[in-house]
Amino acid sequence: MSPAAATGPTLHRPALVVLDSPEAVATAVAARLLRHLATEPRPVLGLATGRTPLAVYDRLAAAHGTGTSFAAVQSFNLDEYVGLGASDPASFAHYMQRHFFDRVDIAAGQGRVPDGTGDPATVARDYEAAIAKAGGIGLQLLGIGTNGHIGFNEPGSAFDSRTRLVTLAESTRQANAPDFPRGTEVPREAITMGIGTILEARQILLVATGAAKAEALHAAFHAAPDPDCPASALQLHPRVEVICDCAAGRRLWSA
Ligand code: GLP
């Protein structure tokens, strides 16, 4: 072992669950979230947007239909586009309202998304303060970008970064273009929880489906942590679970 490695941070391997299909992944992730809610009197969730968690929110809404209450839950979303408010269908605030908050009994104002229309520095500072006031995030749900981003922490983001204004990678703007009406520009900037903010969650649940995520997942866990792959910072956290399908997990250890 080199002297640098001997004095470096302790690295951890995530608990890994590889399942047959995206549907099985969604079911397992929803079950994991529901287990967390059942054990915490005042749960604080970190939530994610994107295509991957859509089926998870469907299952949580179904659980509400059969009696699960989200009334004690507080949640904090990872990110939002700068310039988009909750009334804009392409905003993450609108996504969360439509796919989750409106379908369960979470109390008004307890499901938070960074405000894309405010002064970014103020929004970021207040968001960090609100997370701290809630007692920190108990369980953080994360997706992963094909370039390894988590939240909107693009390659190069510092591992100790906090909630802040960021510039989106061109590949991210292209990947998310289908969420915008034709002819509308994808915003160039966003507000995202930082990697340091994410790493303060007590538990982290990373979800990935589809072959397009296989390289990013491999880069995240099969080399030393490197800001070129933001998700590789998760190796610094002792309680990370990865739930993925075979297509996304095919380059991971046991898949
Ligand atoms: C988005 C979000 C991320 C998300 C990722 C993957 O841009 N900012 O939080 O995890 O990209 O999205 P998808 O699940 O659609 O592949």
What are the structural domains, with CATH classification, of the chain? 37-135+147-203+222-241 (3.40.50.1360)
pLDDT tens for the chain, 255 residues long, are: 555 556 789 999 999 999 999 999 999 999 999 999 999 999 999 999 999 999 999 999 999 999 999 999 999 999 999 999 999 999 999 999 999 999 999 999 999 999 999 999 999 999 999 999 999 999 999 999 999 999 999 999 999 999 999 999 999 999 999 999 998 999 999 999 999 999 999 999 999 999 999 999 999 999 999 999 999 999 999 999 999 999 999 999 854
Active site residue 228: no
Q: From the alpha carbon of 192, which atom of ligand 1 is closest?
A: 8
* Nearest CA among 133, 118, 145, 123 for reference residue 212: 145
Closest alpha carbon to 115 in 191, 20, 63: 191
Q: Whose CA is nearest to atom 11 of ligand 1?
A: 145
40 assigned to active site: no
Q: Does residue 176's CB lie within 6 angstroms of at least one atom of ligand 1? A: yes
Q: Which of 54, 96, 142, 149 to mutate to test the pocket of ligand 1 (most atoms within 8 A of CB)?
A: 149
Ligand 1 mean position, distance from CA 7 (Å): 34
Q: Is the CB of 79 under 6 A from ligand 1?
A: yes
Q: What's the whole-model pTM score?
A: 0.96
pLDDT of residue 7: 75
Q: Is the CB of 143 under 6 A from ligand 1?
A: yes
Among protein residues, the one whose CA lies closest to atom 6 of ligand 1: 145
DSSP 103: G
Q: Which two tokens stand for residue 4?
A: 């640098």
Q: How many CB atoms lie within 10 A of CB 142?
A: 24
Tokens 């966003």, residue located: 190
d(CA 90, CA 99): 13
Spatial CA neighbour of 170 closest among 195, 194, 142, 145? 145
- From the candidates 79, 115, 200, 245, which is the catalytic residue? 79
